[in-house]
Amino acid sequence: MAENKALFLDRDGTLIRDAHYLKDPKKVEIIQGISEALHEARHLGYLLFMHTNQSGIARGYYDWSDVHACNKKMFQDFGWPKDFFTEICIAPEEPTATEGYRKPSPKFEFEMIEKFELNPRKCWVVGDKWIDPQTGLKASMRGALVKTGKPITIEMQKQAASEEVPIYENIAEFAKKEILLHV
């Protein structure tokens, strides 16, 4: 039986401050205090994945090189090595797309479950929008919301409560409560 565990993390609003259609690396602003938590999760055996929707590519607002430049700046600012994430999924599809990797599609999560023999019950999808935990739930994983990005509405709070999706201030608090306390 698969025993590997993982965290699937959103980028904008979760790892870095949300900037509308981010294309300029100079506008990348990391969220302080989460790098240490992610290093600890890796130390505890969690594989780390980044899954980010980037519809600005399909909409023609920016291109792949802009996304890669912003990711590179994020890695530099956090001081992460190039291989910090086991894999990265950049979903370029527009919100109306029905095929592809755009969250809430769990296509990427299902592929990683198979490729890395992940136990979905030991995996989380974490982000600032409902589509993040929703993606995890569709892949039989757990989901969590963080308050570092888009505002969490009352409707989202109700949905989260009904689906047993916890809400945390940030990734550091999530890791402290869900990862470090369950070692």
Cite the active site residues.
10, 12
How crowded is the C-beta side of 83, counted as CA atoms within 13 Å?
0
Q: Which of 77, 90, 83 is nearest to 31 (CA)?
A: 77
Q: Which residues pair with 89 in a beta bridge?
A: 51
How far is residue 136's CA from residue 131's CA, in Å, rounded to a whole number?
9
At 52, list the tokens. Answer: 């980010």
Radius of gyration (Cα) for the chain, nearest Å?
Answer: 15
How far is residue 46's CA from residue 34's CA, in Å, rounded to a whole number?
15
